[in-house]
Structure 1
Amino acid sequence: MDFPVSFHILGKTVLAHPLFEALGMFIGMRYYFYLKRKSKEKVSFNTSAAVLIGATAGALLGSKLIGNLENPYTLFESFDMKRIWTNNTIVGGLAFGLIGVELAKKIVNHKESTGDLIVFPLMLAIIIGRIGCFLTGIYEETYGLPTKSIFGMHLGDQYLRHPVSLYEIAFLIVLWIYLKLIQNKRKYPSGFVFQLFMLSYFTFRFFLDFIKPRVELIGNLGTIQLVCICVIIYYIYKIKNTQT
């Protein structure tokens, strides 16, 4: 396979990453609305709209902010609007999307959890997006460090590298099965599945980034890992309170 993989659509060459990213968001949203129609828990239009706006605004801001702060030294060396706009990370999107949702819920005075319904559409969107990351190889910053393990793959240069996108896809598939089993038991409070997803995903990303190129800011931790620590602490506190 030659990296980066591209497709010819309507006479134009389109890279796999933005194509799969857009496809993931579209399919994820369609799956979410399908689940919402089937759900017995009805939320008012005002609440749904506020949560959607809060999540979208927070995710957009967070993905750009944390994406650019992954290498703050490069960011401050020269101002490049195109680079700033194209730097994204799902970690920042999830973390700040959460903040956006919580602020929106406070504005409309909605206290119940709204997260469980979005868990599996979100995981599906990430899985599809990560296929695009893998097909891009080393040409965007979603690749792994060189390795001599049996999992090493050539991703566009002379090194065998950790295919971290494939690791993430495998993790999400296993997590999907586990969370479905939890959800089917129906003995946990509303919001618990979402909390468990966030805790599991951010814990996974914290460790995964040790085998990805990163700029070390505090100790040997990068920006994404520092964000992960904050979210992990928050959700340990939330889940502990849920169980008491």
Structure 2
Amino acid sequence: MDGAALHAMFDLAAWLSAGAAGWWLTRIAGVSFPKQSTEWPYVAALVFGAGVGAYLFGTLNLWLSGMSGLARSVEGALTGGIVAVELYKWRHGIALRTGARFALPLAVGVAVGRIGCYAAGLDDFTYGTPTALPWGHDFGDGISRHPVQLYESLAMAAFAVVYVAAVLRRSEPVIANGFYLALLVYGLQRFVWEFLKPYGPVVGPLTLFHLLSLAIAAYAAAMLATAPQPKALHERAAA
């Protein structure tokens, strides 16, 4: 099976595993999340923003790195989805925080999907810079490189384990703010791994994805800093 087919297979596996993770939390583990927005315009804004962001930032990074063509980016999809949803909520006067139930699906989806990026090899342009470390991987060009895809996969899998443990203990702050915790971890770990990728710099040594990582982490930190306290959550639910 070639790299593109493997990548497509893992993309499907990522979506299925993300869906299964969300289903397990609510249906099997019995976790009750804060009220979410399920209106079709909201969902449409999320999907549209994620799609535009995925191709816009993925392709832009490709061009900034001196390459042509189209590309997709998980981080671009996250950024586009966040911007679209926040704009939709602002436009319709929605103050409700709507991401709580997406924390585990996000972490699991990234953890599984990045394995597909690793399996796709050089064509995927997600490989790392050369390294002499014993776990370096030759993607087919005779150069041992950082398997940064697996670094990211392991980081998000570790978050998923810690998150599930906290949620099963019914930690209200984690249940209510898990999505922003996931975004914070994602942004910070992604920022670190970007130093091990051969992408074209934009500001000093920082690449486009460095900047997106910082933006995502800053957004998550701001949302966590302004999160309602558990008592306020109970009062809002009772009202």
Could you say if the C-alpha distance between residues 58 and 191 of structure 1 is closer, same or farther in structure 2, counting changes exceeding 3 Å?
farther
AA aligned opposite 1:21: D
Write out per-residue CA displacement over residues 33-65 of structure 1, whole angstroms, 9 at most, x where no aligned residue: 554565545857x73423322221111011111
Structure 1 unaligned blocks of 5 or more: 8-13
Write out per-residue CA displacement over residues 117-146 of structure 1, whole angstroms, 9 at most, x where no aligned residue: 111112222222112111112121111111
Could you say if the C-alpha distance between residues 53 and 30 of structure 1 is closer, same or farther in structure 2, counting changes exceeding 3 Å?
farther
The match for 1:70 is 61
Query: Which of the residues 196, 215, 225 maps onto 1:240?
Result: 225
Contact 1:116 1:193 in 2 (8 A): yes
Query: Which of the residues 127, 138, 141 maps onto 1:154?
Result: 138
Query: Which of the residues 2, 18, 24 maps onto 2:14?
Result: 24
AA aligned opposite 2:145: R
**Aligned: 1:53 with 2:74:** no
The match for 2:2 is 6
Query: Which of the residues 145, 149, 156 maps onto 1:165?
Result: 149
Secondary structure, in 3 states, of the residue corresponding to 2:38? helix
Could you say if the C-alpha distance between residues 27 and 190 of structure 1 is closer, same or farther in structure 2, counting changes exceeding 3 Å?
closer
TM superposition shift of 1:21: 0.9
The match for 1:11 is none
Query: Which of the residues 76, 83, 89 maps onto 1:105?
Result: 89
* Aligned pairs (5 A) from 1:223-238: 223-238=208-223
Could you say if the C-alpha distance between residues 36 and 99 of structure 1 is closer, same or farther in structure 2, counting changes exceeding 3 Å?
farther
CA distance in 2, matches of 1:225, 1:33: 32
AA aligned opposite 1:32: G
TM superposition shift of 1:108: 4.7
Structure 2 unaligned blocks of 5 or more: 230-239
Write out per-residue CA displacement over residues 44-100 of structure 1, whole angstroms, 9 at most, x where no aligned residue: 7x734233222211110111111111143578x97xxxx32xx01111111111112
Which deviates further from its counterpart, 112-121 or 102-111?
A: 102-111
Could you say if the C-alpha distance between residues 90 and 105 of structure 1 is closer, same or farther in structure 2, counting changes exceeding 3 Å?
same
Could you say if the C-alpha distance between residues 243 and 168 of structure 1 is closer, same or farther in structure 2, counting changes exceeding 3 Å?
same
Size of the alignment, in residue pairs? 226
AA aligned opposite 2:107: M
TM superposition shift of 1:208: 0.2
**Aligned: 1:178 with 2:159:** no
The match for 1:119 is 103
TM superposition shift of 1:150: 1.9
Write out per-residue CA displacement over residues 149-172 of structure 1, whole angstroms, 9 at most, x where no aligned residue: 122122212111111111111111
- Report sequence identity in percent: 25
